[in-house]
Structure 1
Amino acid sequence: MTPLTRRQFQTLGAALLGLPAIVRAQGKYPNRPVRVVVPFAPGGGTDTLGRAIAQKLSESLGQPFVIDNKPGAGGIIGTDAVAKAAPDGYTLNFNISTALLINQFLYTKLPYNPLRDLSMVYKAADGYTILVVHPSLPVKNGTELMAYIKAHRNKLSYGSYGQGSSPHLTGAYLNHITDGGMTHVAYKGEAPCVQDLLGGQIHMTWASAFNIKQHVEAGRLKAIGVQGTRRLPSMPNLPTLPEAGLEGDAFELVGWLGMAVPAKTPMEIQELLAAEIRKAVTDPAMKERIEGMGYGMVPDSGPQNFLADYKRDMPKWEALVRLSGVTLD
């Protein structure tokens, strides 16, 4: 074997040092199109915001960030595809808290483990929902609503956009603390749920401002309060649920929309993506658009903050799932 010269040794050493950094393996990241998997059909809130952020990333990073809709099984199919993708920064996942966090407590056979198989990059928006009731209910706030539920045991119903969704879990908690015997009605999406509430087929639900604001303003629905501890910029006079008399973790927990990547994606890539998403969502026009959709823009997320928020909320969501008794295959 011919011994290495000093120059060859130095060259080899420099090359080896660069191997772990995928961002430098084939030039500056990104140097080809990036796929952004949205595990829901086109046209919904997740898809709409995901496309807006992808467009901003395309502009700032100089490569196409292409939305790939992979709907099915409540977001599981698309999320699993990302969990099993190469951790090279070229497959991203724009998703909601149900698929990235809550599903692990709902499904007995979930094909991925969120914290083991994925890394949380940036929580882009809080997905605030509003507790709305049919105008025939003679209540104005959460305290009156609880009293009404108790007085009409086994006579009321609440809707949600699916089994195990955050409205389902929060409604189950409200049913529990009032011993109300309410019936849960699961719909395939928020729009049909709101439509049935307007028609009086159900008595209450939690829904986005995007889908209910016009009906509240027209008097066709009555808003009790917004889930969480912050008022909505688009409905500033509407109290939070705790302000309206509904207190506890269940009424303060807020779903979210965020970007994730396969686990072991280099932190340099994650930090770059987080920085660019932060620029995107804090842009005044984008912020206005996010708030117009009924979401709350998150200006200070990133891999560390997102993971901390995730771990803080995990046991709270798990407790709500256990309380609801929902188990899915």
Structure 2
Amino acid sequence: MNTIRLNARRTVLQAIAAASLGAALMPAAYAAEAFPNKPITLVVPFVAGGTTDILARIVGQSLGEELGQPVIIDNRAGAGGNIGGQFAARAPADGYTIFMGTVGTHAINEWLYKKMPFNPTKDFAPLTRVANVPNLLVANPAQPFKNVKELISYAQAHPGQVNFGSSGSGSSIHLSGELFKMMAKVDMVHIPYKGSAPAVTDLLGNQIAIMFDNMPSAIQHVRSGKLRPLAVTTAKRSPELPDVPTIAEAGVPGYEATSWFGLFAPTKTPADVQVKLHAAIIKVLQKPDVIKKIGDQGGEVVTESQAEFGKFIAAENEKWKQVVKTSGATAG
């Protein structure tokens, strides 16, 4: 009888222990399974209206539908994307804050700024590239030059009198201009803005002469005739503007500069959450309507693994390191 009671008691204690262990493990398992169970913030390190913002809103809307939770765009502009980058890097690493990084924030800035408020490599986990976007050399129609050769001739005859705007010091737009100055041997003045949109506004008002803008934020003004396209910065012509030559074709052989945009999570974000985010983003980037919307902006959708994106960033980092050093560009 005592043996039966002892065995019964042991069975009850084992059941209680198993239940306790299950309860202890359940929150972590449930949290991973339930992600996301609240809105996700997508930090954009530039002002609304620029290319980074346009792409973030296209992807963010569809990503929210895919994950079943709203994706809220949070524009935190300044310091060439470093303010937004710092904010996202310090956010809780739980998957509810992701970051739309660029060639500037993750391949240029650490060579351009004396002090960085975050480490692009150590503080972020790459999810996937979203798109490659050509930069488009555009001019206000009131300017006296109609093509690249005329621009070079005019700038050489008027050193320091042609100004070009950018979305900020150290942005790909800025360095596209610095690379042009170096290769075309012209003296032009850089005017940095806090984002592409205000720079385009001044370009439309002829407050600045030219701009090496990302195509999505400039193409609508080219199509309306408010801006004059001179050339694209990529090695090949853009399907969206097939009659516009490359800068290399137009008079500066060997010139090439491409902007890219990608999504990141704070580096300590749980691996399973990163995997879920990556899978959802890839699904979004394969949707025909998303491909078309990005294509309409002059962009080319890119999908890749997290490892592939990491290798790409490493190569870009080395490339732009050399451009910054050669051009002597500095910021902050």
Alignment partner, residue 306 of structure 2: 303
Distance 1:171 1:224 in 2: 13
Alignment partner, residue 97 of structure 1: 103
Alignment partner, residue 285 of structure 2: 281
Instruction: Give the AA of the match of 1:32.
Output: N
1:28 to 11, 29, 33: 33
| 8 Å Cα contact 2:64-2:71 kept in structure 1 | yes
Alignment of 1:1-329 (within 5 A): 24=29, 26-33=31-38, 34-135=40-141, 136-140=143-147, 142-143=148-149, 145-217=151-223, 219-248=225-254, 251-298=255-302, 300-329=303-332
Residue 30 (structure 1) shift: 0.9
| 8 Å Cα contact 1:271-1:302 kept in structure 2 | no
Partner of 2:130, secondary structure, is strand
Structure 2: state its 5+ residue gaps: 1-9
- The change in CA–CA distance for 1:36 and 1:195 in structure 2 (over 3 A counts) is closer
Q: Per-residue CA shift, 1:138-167, capped at 9, x if unaligned? A: 453x45544554444444332223222222
- The change in CA–CA distance for 1:70 and 1:152 in structure 2 (over 3 A counts) is closer
Between the aligned residues of both structures, percent identity stands at: 36
Distance 1:147 1:70 in 2: 39
| 8 Å Cα contact 1:127-1:255 kept in structure 2 | yes
The farther-off stretch of 225-234 and 312-321 is: 225-234
Distance 1:239 1:178 in 2: 16
Q: Which has the larger radius of gyration?
A: 2
Equivalenced residues, count = 320
Distance 1:215 1:64 in 2: 31
| 8 Å Cα contact 1:160-1:205 kept in structure 2 | yes
| 8 Å Cα contact 2:183-2:252 kept in structure 1 | no
Residue 313 (structure 1) shift: 1.0
Instruction: Give the AA of the match of 2:100.
Output: F
Instruction: Give the AA of the match of 1:270.
Output: Q
Q: Per-residue CA shift, 1:170-204, capped at 9, x if unaligned? A: 21222223332222222333344334444444332
Please report the TM-score for the alignment, with normalisation by the length of structure 2. 0.80
| 8 Å Cα contact 1:228-1:252 kept in structure 2 | yes
Q: How much is the aligned-residue C-alpha RMSD, in angstroms?
A: 3.5
| 8 Å Cα contact 1:32-1:64 kept in structure 2 | no
Please report the TM-score for the alignment, with normalisation by the length of structure 1. 0.81
Instruction: Give the AA of the match of 2:83.
Output: I
Instruction: Give the AA of the match of 1:174.
Output: F
Residue 219 (structure 1) shift: 4.9
| 8 Å Cα contact 2:78-2:194 kept in structure 1 | no
Distance 2:162 2:75 in 1: 37
Residue 205 (structure 1) shift: 1.4
The farther-off stretch of 48-57 and 161-170 is: 48-57
Residue 168 (structure 1) shift: 1.8
Partner of 1:99, secondary structure, is helix
Q: Per-residue CA shift, 1:181-238, capped at 9, x if unaligned? A: 2222223333443344444443321123344335434555432221223433322332
